[in-house]
Structures are given as structure tokens and as C-alpha cells.
């Protein structure tokens, strides 16, 4: 019984905390920062939002700034005109899961299908396949960490 509990705890840690620590703290298998320390990158998560995204896009346009938007698939489906606007105005669009759930509490195949669906939604609107993926809260699970596929995290 004690062995079973230890084994379960080990697998939970292996699936969640260990990949999180390696990617967040040590930057293993993820793009954490660029080489040029004199530049910064603006990234915005969780949209598109019908109220705030247009205001943000106006502000970026006014200041001639390009950004990366990590969008949620269900919201991209709901507000395709905002995804189209991001694309038309020269911003990069990345994936932030199909629904805003932590990868720690989803199976590997549910995460993979969600990422694939979101990529499909973005491509159907913009014609461009996204190459960047940012999981909600940076919480990678073991399978995301080991098998990044075609996306840069
Ligand atoms: Zn988020």
C-alpha cells in the first residue's frame, strides 16, 4: 500500500512539477528569452477579447509596435475578426490551448487535440499555421515537455 502511494505521488510529480521546474526555472526545451538583451518582446495571452483586444490593437498600431498574441482556440472561433485584424496588422499569433485549462489536469491527447484544433482555427482565419505555443500559466506536463512536436514553446 505504501509503495502504491509513493508510486502515485512519483508519477504525479513526474507529469507536473518536474517538467514545470525544468522549463520555467531552467529554460529547458522552451524559448525563454532572446539573445539580444537590448530588445523586448510584447506578448499578450488569453484573448481575443471583444472589449480589450481592439483597444490594445489600436494602441499598438498608434505606436507602431508589433506583438505576439497567444490566443485561446474557443475565443478565436468566437471572434475571428479580431484574429484577422491581428494578422492584418502584422502581429504574430500563437496558441494558448483550445480552452484555458492547465495541462497538468488534462490528458496528453486532450492537450494535443486542443493545440491541433487551435492551430486549425488560426490557420482557417489567417492562412498561416502558428509555430509558437504557450501553455496556460506555463504549466507543461511531461508529454508537452518531451514531445514538443512542431511548436516552439
Ligand atoms: Zn493564460
- What pLDDT does residue 148 have? 66
- Classify domain 2-146 by CATH architecture: Alpha-Beta Barrel (3.20)
Q: Report the separation in Å between the CA atom of 83 and the middle of ligand 1, taken as the mean of its atom positions.
A: 17
Q: Report the separation in Å between the CA atom of 7 and the middle of ligand 1, taken as the mean of its atom positions.
A: 31
- What pLDDT does residue 35 have? 82
Q: Report the separation in Å between the CA atom of 74 and the middle of ligand 1, taken as the mean of its atom positions.
A: 13
Q: Report the separation in Å between the CA atom of 70 and the middle of ligand 1, taken as the mean of its atom positions.
A: 8
Give the cell for residue 69: 498574441
Q: Report the separation in Å between the CA atom of 62 and the middle of ligand 1, taken as the mean of its atom positions.
A: 25
Q: Domain ranges for the chain, please list them.
A: 2-146
Closest CA to 47 of 140, 149, 136: 136
C-alpha to C-alpha distance for 130 and 112, rounded to whole angstroms? 14
Q: Report the separation in Å between the CA atom of 56 and the middle of ligand 1, taken as the mean of its atom positions.
A: 17
- What pLDDT does residue 36 have? 87
Q: Is 20 helix (H, G, I), strand (E, B) or coil?
A: helix
What does pLDDT average to in each consecutive run of 10 residues of the chain (153 residues)? 90 89 85 85 97 98 98 98 98 97 93 95 98 93 80 91
Is residue 53 within 8 A of residue 47, CB to CB? The reply is yes
Amino acid at each position: 500500500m505504501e509503495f502504491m502511494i509513493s508510486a502515485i505521488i512519483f508519477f504525479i510529480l513526474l507529469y507536473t512539477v518536474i517538467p514545470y521546474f525544468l522549463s520555467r526555472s531552467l529554460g529547458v526545451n522552451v524559448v525563454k528569452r532572446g539573445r539580444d538583451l537590448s530588445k523586448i518582446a510584447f506578448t499578450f495571452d488569453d484573448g481575443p477579447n471583444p472589449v480589450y483586444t481592439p483597444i490594445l490593437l489600436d494602441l499598438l498600431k498608434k505606436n507602431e509596435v508589433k506583438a505576439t498574441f497567444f490566443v485561446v482556440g474557443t475565443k478565436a472561433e468566437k471572434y475571428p475578426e479580431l484574429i484577422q485584424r491581428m494578422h492584418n496588422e502584422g502581429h504574430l499569433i500563437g496558441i494558448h490551448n483550445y480552452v484555458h485549462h492547465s495541462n497538468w489536469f488534462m490528458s496528453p491527447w486532450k492537450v494535443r487535440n486542443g493545440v491541433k484544433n487551435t492551430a486549425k482555427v488560426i490557420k482557417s482565419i489567417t492562412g498561416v499555421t502558428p509555430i509558437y505555443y504557450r501553455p496556460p500559466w506555463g504549466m507543461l506536463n511531461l508529454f508537452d515537455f518531451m514531445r514538443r512536436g512542431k511548436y516552439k514553446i
